[in-house]
Structure 1
Amino acid sequence: MICLRAALPFPLTSSSSPLLRLALKSSPRRAAAAAMSSSAAVATPIEHIVLIKARPEAATSGAAAAMVSSLQALSGAVPGLSYIHVGPVLRLRSPAAESLGPTHILHSRYATKPDLASYAVHPAHVAAVQGHVLPNSLDVTAVDWVNAAASPSPVAPGNAVRLTLAKVKGGVEVPQLVEKVAAATAAAGEAKGARVSFGENFSARAKGYQFGMVAVFDSLEELDAVEGDGKVEEAKAAVRPLLDEVLVLDFVVGPPAPANL
Structure 2
Amino acid sequence: MICLKALSSPLHQPTLRRLNLNPSSSTLRVAAAAAAAMSSSAAVATPIEHIVLIKVRPEAAASGAATAMVSALQALSTQVPGLAYIHAGPVLRLSSPVAEALGPTHLLHSRHAAKPDLAAYATHPAHVAAVQGHVLPNALDTTAVDWVNMAPSASPVAPGNAVRLTLAKAKEGVEPAQIVEAVAAATKVAAEAMGIKVSFGESFSPARAKGYQFGMVAVFHSMEELDAVEGNAKVLEARAGIRSLLAEQLVLDFVVGPAGDASAPANL
For the 8 Å contact 1:43–1:152, the answer to whether it is kept is no
Runs of at least 4 residues off by over 3 Å: 41-44, 257-260
The answer to whether the aligner puts 1:112 opposite 2:114 as a matched pair is yes
Q: Aligned partners of 1:258, 1:174: CA distance in 2, in Å? A: 31
Gaps of 5+ in 1: 1-37
2:229 paired residue number = 226
2:197 paired residue number = 195
The answer to whether the aligner puts 1:166 opposite 2:168 as a matched pair is yes
Task: Tell me which of 211, 216, 224 is aligned to 2:214.
Answer: 211
Q: Aligned partners of 1:258, 1:243: CA distance in 2, in Å? A: 33
Superposition deviation, residue 187 in structure 1: 2.1
Paired AA for residue 212 in structure 2: Y
The answer to whether the aligner puts 1:235 opposite 2:235 as a matched pair is no
For the 8 Å contact 1:193–1:223, the answer to whether it is kept is no
1:52 paired residue number = 54
State the TM-score, normalized to the length of structure 1.
0.81
For the 8 Å contact 1:73–1:257, the answer to whether it is kept is no
Superposition deviation, residue 233 in structure 1: 2.0
1:244 paired residue number = 247
Superposition deviation, residue 71 in structure 1: 0.3
Superposition deviation, residue 228 in structure 1: 1.7
Paired AA for residue 66 in structure 2: A
State the TM-score, normalized to the length of structure 2.
0.79
Q: Aligned partners of 1:188, 1:153: CA distance in 2, in Å? A: 14
Q: Which has the higher helix share?
A: 2
Paired AA for residue 240 in structure 1: R
Task: Tell me which of 64, 88, 91 is aligned to 1:62.
Answer: 64
1:154 paired residue number = 156
Paired AA for residue 137 in structure 1: A
Deviation sequence 1:20-40 (CA, Å, 0-9, x none): xxxxxxxxxxxxxxxxxx99x
Paired AA for residue 248 in structure 2: E
Q: CA distance change for structure 1 residues 77 and 93 in 2, over 3 Å: closer, same or farther?
A: same
1:180 paired residue number = 182
State the structure with bigger RCO (CA 8 A, min sep 6), 1 or 2.
1
For the 8 Å contact 1:89–1:250, the answer to whether it is kept is yes
Q: Report the RMSD for the aligned CA atoms in angstroms.
A: 1.9
Paired AA for residue 148 in structure 1: M
Q: Aligned partners of 2:161, 2:102: CA distance in 1, in Å? A: 24
Q: CA distance change for structure 1 residues 69 and 116 in 2, over 3 Å: closer, same or farther?
A: same
1:32 paired residue number = none
Paired AA for residue 108 in structure 1: S
Paired AA for residue 219 in structure 1: S
For the 8 Å contact 1:43–1:151, the answer to whether it is kept is no
Superposition deviation, residue 190 in structure 1: 2.8
Superposition deviation, residue 180 in structure 1: 0.7
Deviation sequence 1:163-212 (CA, Å, 0-9, x none): 00000001101111101100111122332242100000011200000000
Paired AA for residue 112 in structure 2: Y
- SS of 2:192's partner is coil
Aligned residues: 222
Superposition deviation, residue 43 in structure 1: 5.6
Q: Aligned partners of 2:211, 2:191: CA distance in 1, in Å? A: 30
Q: Aligned partners of 2:260, 2:238: CA distance in 1, in Å? A: 37
For the 8 Å contact 2:65–2:134, the answer to whether it is kept is yes
Q: Aligned partners of 1:258, 1:166: CA distance in 2, in Å? A: 27
Q: Aligned partners of 2:262, 2:244: CA distance in 1, in Å? A: 46
